Structure 1
């Protein structure tokens, strides 16, 4: 059965990553399977590999595409996302990506502008030649891959043993005790520990809210803007490790339908369904005087905003900056309302904002 150039490129890259041969050799072996221009597939695979780190950094700045990737288990599908991202942003195939059938292409196409903006941000807001992009993601290139051990399903010692036995270079973060550090570029998305929910791929910055909250045994904690769910499961993991016996111990709130489904899926994968109660509602609509909210001891308030990925942000053009300032003005008002509401809960002793 013949397949299109995107699938050819993705299959070749996944096989090369698995050390089944050189990328060039694998592409030649797949030549007979191509339903399109094989030379285009060849170029697409090599260019995606060449700009891999730039693309990966952009994906990590786009929540929708990152969430899509986190739900994929096959290496080939992960590479398909990267190949499509390349052609929709750095390459010249945005129209082809838009016309391609399938949910992956649809999501990449819909978020192409966000991905392109993230790539531009790595290079001061613009680039004249795509070769300039190579080696420009200064804040990103040095960042390692982080992975949090989910204490609901496993232990740090077990996770370390598995990774070291398989030859991974891994260390423990000095500030967050159950956060593992791998060299940048380490791809764990298809690893069985991630698939089983024993380890959760989560950046260090994302882990800080739960650690800073430091919930005490049998506290009821509210995650106010919970999707995609990593903070909620982290809070549950901390509470369980401290001996909490109340169920649920975390109330996870999100109002967006699609993100709420992702939240529920993450909680299920983490084995936290009895620990985390998911509710689809607007945080501002909650009455703090009513049960169970009147019993909440801590609130994690981390609403999404245009500051996502601040560690990688650099200067932008003046016109773009004006647009950002307008949007930030609106966001500031909403964030002020959210924070005031969080502080109105009668028994809250900690608000992590």
Structure 2
């Protein structure tokens, strides 16, 4: 049986196409996509192989271009991609990327997809999907659909682009998006100082041949160059480090919980900030950790155990907005409100974020965020602190919410933040970490104090 060859050395057959499409299908259901990819490739024994490297490059580019690709599919086929069978949708995304972006570098991949696609569809879909596949293939050969120039240049939706222009202006937006288009962020690791020192972690990374360095802003953050198997890091398995962005670690340091205090974490899973708060409390006091998702809560419990802070953290499976009813009001010294958000600050490491947010979703998210912040205010005792954070680039999820809440709640006041990042351009006293200025995930912070 003849098989396609990538760059003349990698042999690919039907089984390989099925695996690649399975990653795309599973990646729609399971987030983040990197984990979905790793799970499927591990299942088929491909993780770390030469095929893994080629597949990862294809998958990452498909996810980066997904919004453009989906528009093209809709234009060519006249059908919304969401209405397509998952396996056909995955196939059309792969084929569109190959034909319009990768064909010059990998011409043999086009032949490989066209040869084995019908066989995979017969197994995974129906005759109707085969008909749509043949129709799409023929139409795409005949014409290249128009592509939004802004979306193709910056690899984000027009919606994100226009939101940012309205917030920080066109020049700053294009500087930010140009940086995010090309930036490959290092792996950020936060050291659990109850179990290890920064020096110890750096030494282990060095012994593995990994280039690593300290953060200049966060005393417990280490950066490691990408390209190594993080599972080889014993410190990770032993709870001495956790993968966590520098701005996330900074959040817990800003809130600064003390040993013996009562802390509420309203959206705690999967546990990165919760464990850091517990470490700062030296294992003394209590953290009520709320979350509504069973799988994420199980992950939190496992992370808490591994980090050795399970005596401090009390997981509560409930919506954080119900916390004042469950715990009572004015019971907490410190409250962390880190609600679900658009995740637009994480675009560099989560390329699917570039396309998925829209106005309807944003309105739903901001309503929930504001309600969670108000719950946090009710929980804080007089003199207590409430830290509101989101990994979003949108003012709608940050400054606009805080402004409304301050007007509605005269019992709270802003505590000025301006380090280690920069003050917000529209609400001084609150702070933003910008990817293009600070080389980190985009993040927003507002620290509130309930007046005594």
**Shorter-chain TM band:** 0.5 to 0.7
* Residue 261 in structure 1 maps to residue 281 in structure 2: no
Counterpart in the other structure of 2:317: 280
Could you say which structure has the greater relative contact order, defined with CA pairs below 8 angstroms and 6 or more residues apart?
Answer: 1
* Residue 164 in structure 1 maps to residue 206 in structure 2: yes
Relative to structure 1, is the Cα distance of residues 222 and 63 closer, same or farther in structure 2, using a 3 angstrom cutoff?
farther
Relative to structure 1, is the Cα distance of residues 255 and 297 closer, same or farther in structure 2, using a 3 angstrom cutoff?
same
Relative to structure 1, is the Cα distance of residues 148 and 68 closer, same or farther in structure 2, using a 3 angstrom cutoff?
farther
Relative to structure 1, is the Cα distance of residues 158 and 346 closer, same or farther in structure 2, using a 3 angstrom cutoff?
closer
Contact 1:150 / 1:198 at 8 angstroms: preserved in 2?
yes
Q: Quote the Cα distance in structure 1 between the aligned partners of 2:122 and 2:223.
A: 36
Relative to structure 1, is the Cα distance of residues 163 and 310 closer, same or farther in structure 2, using a 3 angstrom cutoff?
closer
After TM superposition, give the deviation of residue 282 of structure 1 in Å: 1.1
Gaps of 5+ in 2: 63-89, 96-112, 125-150, 159-177, 389-452
* Residue 200 in structure 1 maps to residue 242 in structure 2: yes
Relative to structure 1, is the Cα distance of residues 308 and 233 closer, same or farther in structure 2, using a 3 angstrom cutoff?
farther
Which is richer in strand? Answer: 2
Relative to structure 1, is the Cα distance of residues 66 and 229 closer, same or farther in structure 2, using a 3 angstrom cutoff?
farther
Contact 1:152 / 1:272 at 8 angstroms: preserved in 2?
no
Counterpart in the other structure of 1:351: 386
Relative to structure 1, is the Cα distance of residues 188 and 329 closer, same or farther in structure 2, using a 3 angstrom cutoff?
same
Q: Quote the Cα distance in structure 1 between the aligned partners of 2:47 and 2:153.
A: 23
Counterpart in the other structure of 1:124: 156
Q: Quote the Cα distance in structure 1 between the aligned partners of 2:188 and 2:46.
A: 21
Contact 2:155 / 2:181 at 8 angstroms: preserved in 1?
no
SS at match of 2:193: coil
SS at match of 1:265: helix
After TM superposition, give the deviation of residue 63 of structure 1 in Å: 3.8
Counterpart in the other structure of 2:337: 301
Counterpart in the other structure of 1:328: 362
Aligned residue runs from structure 1 range 331-342, under 5 A: 331-342=365-376
Aligned residue runs from structure 1 range 1-353, under 5 A: 37=14, 63-66=31-34, 83=55, 86=59, 88=90, 91-92=94-95, 123-125=155-157, 138-139=180-181, 141-240=183-282, 245-246=284-285, 249-287=286-324, 290=327, 294-310=330-346, 312=348, 324-347=358-381, 349-353=384-388
After TM superposition, give the deviation of residue 225 of structure 1 in Å: 0.4
Contact 1:223 / 1:250 at 8 angstroms: preserved in 2?
yes
Deviations 1:206-240 (A, max 9, x none): 22321221112322221110111111111112221
TM score, norm. by length of structure 2: 0.50
Counterpart in the other structure of 2:67: none
Q: Quote the Cα distance in structure 2 between the aligned partners of 1:344 and 1:168.
A: 46
Higher Rg of the two aligned structures: 2
Relative to structure 1, is the Cα distance of residues 214 and 64 closer, same or farther in structure 2, using a 3 angstrom cutoff?
same
After TM superposition, give the deviation of residue 172 of structure 1 in Å: 0.9
Relative to structure 1, is the Cα distance of residues 162 and 304 closer, same or farther in structure 2, using a 3 angstrom cutoff?
same
Counterpart in the other structure of 1:129: none
Relative to structure 1, is the Cα distance of residues 186 and 274 closer, same or farther in structure 2, using a 3 angstrom cutoff?
same
Q: Quote the Cα distance in structure 2 between the aligned partners of 1:72 and 1:212.
A: 38
Relative to structure 1, is the Cα distance of residues 209 and 306 closer, same or farther in structure 2, using a 3 angstrom cutoff?
same
Q: Quote the Cα distance in structure 1 between the aligned partners of 2:195 and 2:204.
A: 14
Contact 1:289 / 1:345 at 8 angstroms: preserved in 2?
no
Q: Quote the Cα distance in structure 2 between the aligned partners of 1:209 and 1:150.
A: 15
Q: Quote the Cα distance in structure 2 between the aligned partners of 1:167 and 1:337.
A: 47
Q: Quote the Cα distance in structure 2 between the aligned partners of 1:70 and 1:152.
A: 30
TM score, norm. by length of structure 1: 0.62
